[in-house]
Amino acid sequence: MGRHFKSVFSDEGIDRRDAGYYSSPDFVARFFCDEMRCINPGGNTVFDPCVGKEELLEPFICEGLRAEGFDCYSYLSDYRSLFRQTDFLEFFREHTRQNKPALDFDFIVANPPYNCHETNYIRDNKPWLRKLFAETGVANMYSMFISALIDLAKPGAVIGLLSFDSFLTAGAHARLRAKILRQCRIHHLVLCPTDLFRNQGADVRTCLMILEKNRSEPVETVYVSNRPRDVDAFREILIRKQFKRVPPGDTVLSGSRDASEFVIDCPEDVLKLFQFARLDSHAQVKTGISTGNDGMYLRSELAPGHSVPFYKNPGSRKFYCSPDAYLPADFQQIARGVPNFIVRNRDLLFRSGIICSSMGVKFGACYLPAGGTFGVNPGVFCDDASLWWLLAYLNSSLVHYLVRGVLLRTNMITSGYVARIPVVPFDEEAKQLLAKFARRAYDLEQKGCSSSPLQVDIDRLVFEKSGLSLSSRQTIDNFCKDIVRLA
Ligand SMILES: C[S@@+](CC[C@H](N)C(=O)[O-])C[C@H]1O[C@@H](n2cnc3c(N)ncnc32)[C@H](O)[C@@H]1O
């Protein structure tokens, strides 16, 4: 059964969270219209599957194109496009069932819904959604919209998307990325600022993408732009077309270990580092314990019966962190009797190692002393000789950039991603120096002092040994200084 949507909304009546309504700014609509019409100057029809109040269609309509729009809600009493109130995913299901030909539109624009009713919608409609999106999955509304639009577009159609950007790197969207790469040429890949929808109450990371379906000749250049600091800078980029031009190969991580993550404006010499051996050829990178009910099993203080130190997400802490909680001494016995109390990788229990951040924009690594345990955050286990230089390396600005600027733009980092961090091949002398810096940084942090001066030493050495150009170092420094806005 499909979900029933209310029929009409007034301006005041729009529940953004329910409808996933975030209005596209007019300069974004203008950007799509100009760039897409440049790609196909002869095009004269345009479609928006979640048209809202026709924000994205507006410039096309003004230029005389024939426009059609769908939306599950009706927001206007008078549409300038040919409007149909319908659930686009249900329309796609019917279209597919009847094996109809591709939609005859030269242009498709969409700002698909997100932050909305998707959890309920996906749960209520799962059986047919699963069948319909067997290839790319049913993780989000926006990803299903993108997948459906690629299927519905005719060869040569140009597709402009303003979308949540987690699909660029998240593991759950690897098959969507593969589909985009297989069926479309990418013309533009532009990250939006985090404040793009702040005046509408949303702090979301989004991107713009312009694709062309089934283009026969290859695209020489992809226009990319990294995340700007704010919406004013973004407007300037779009209006003045301040994009970088990069070869298509530089927009995708395509090594055998990679999952076609989209890379935006990463310096060429930094991308080359991905040819080095990854962290899991130096260490085991694994996840730890999930209790299933932290409130029940964890105590914040050492207490009788609760004696096993437990380390959670270090978040922004580096080098040193004290235990976040204590597990019951008999936790292994409890786990045997409680199905959702899961102890993974038992062979690593109580070993010394490194724990890494799992949530949040910042990435840090802390020493895990012997006798401790850790949660679902990534744990790194290696021989004693490697532990300290790896701790220094994992806390370097370079790694911070590799993780947050390239490998993974969403907030949740799993051991699978940490395992894939490329490791610069350091000589013995450099390893010893890095290890010395890490031990000193650990001591300082343990005493409650800042380890920043050692961070500078570590960065200098890591940059030198990685052979990065001065401009790449500058890019990385700038990124790390303002990571919350730029990641
Ligand atoms: C992010 S807003 C975009 C609105 C407008 N197109 C724009 O760009 O400003 C997403 C739109 O998707 C609509 N929507 C949500 N679920 C839908 C569905 N299943 N089918 C069609 N439209 C849907 C919402 O009502 C909302 O208008």
- Euclidean distance between CA atoms 420 and 274, whole angstroms: 9
Pocket of ligand 1 (CB under 6 A): 19-24, 48, 50-52, 55-56, 70-73, 87-89, 111, 113
For the record, the structure tokens of 72 come out as: 């599950």
CA 466 to chain CA centroid, Å, is: 26
Counting from 1 in the atom list of ligand 1, the atom nearest the Cα of 88 is 20
- Euclidean distance between CA atoms 478 and 180, whole angstroms: 31
- Euclidean distance between CA atoms 287 and 88, whole angstroms: 39
CATH class given for the domain over 16-265: alpha beta
Judge: domain 279-486, CATH 3.90.220.10: yes
- What's residue 16's pLDDT? 60
Residue closest via CA to ligand 1's atom 24 equals 19
- Euclidean distance between CA atoms 403 and 252, whole angstroms: 15
- What's residue 8's pLDDT? 41
Residue closest via CA to ligand 1's atom 10 equals 113
Chain position carrying tokens 């928006």: 48
Mutate to test the pocket of ligand 1, among 3, 15, 50, 162 (most ligand atoms within 8 A of CB): 50
Mutate to test the pocket of ligand 1, among 14, 16, 21, 74 (most ligand atoms within 8 A of CB): 21
- What's residue 116's pLDDT? 66
Tell me the CA–centroid distance for residue 70 and ligand 1, in Å: 8
Q: What are the start-end ranges of the H helices in 133-173?
A: 141-152
Tell me the CA–centroid distance for residue 172 and ligand 1, in Å: 23
Counting from 1 in the atom list of ligand 1, the atom nearest the Cα of 75 is 27
- What's residue 103's pLDDT? 98
Judged on CB neighbours under 10 Å (0-12, 13-18, 19+), 137 is middle
Counting from 1 in the atom list of ligand 1, the atom nearest the Cα of 162 is 8
Q: How many CB atoms lie within 10 A of CB 217?
A: 6
The C-alpha R_g of the chain, in whole angstroms, comes to 25
What is the location of CATH 3.40.50.150 in the chain? 16-265
Chain position carrying tokens 């995340």: 227
For the record, the structure tokens of 337 come out as: 């009797």
What is the location of CATH 3.90.220.10 in the chain? 279-486
Tell me the CA–centroid distance for residue 50 and ligand 1, in Å: 4
Name the 3-class secondary structure at 163. Answer: strand
Counting from 1 in the atom list of ligand 1, the atom nearest the Cα of 87 is 20
Chain position carrying tokens 């309920």: 120
Name the 3-class secondary structure at 341. Answer: coil
- Euclidean distance between CA atoms 354 and 314, whole angstroms: 10
Tell me the CA–centroid distance for residue 21 and ligand 1, in Å: 6
Averaged pLDDT, groups of 10, the chain, 487 residues long: 42 58 95 98 98 98 98 95 97 98 98 80 94 96 97 98 95 96 96 93 91 86 96 98 94 93 95 96 97 96 95 93 97 96 96 93 94 96 97 98 90 91 98 98 97 97 98 97 90
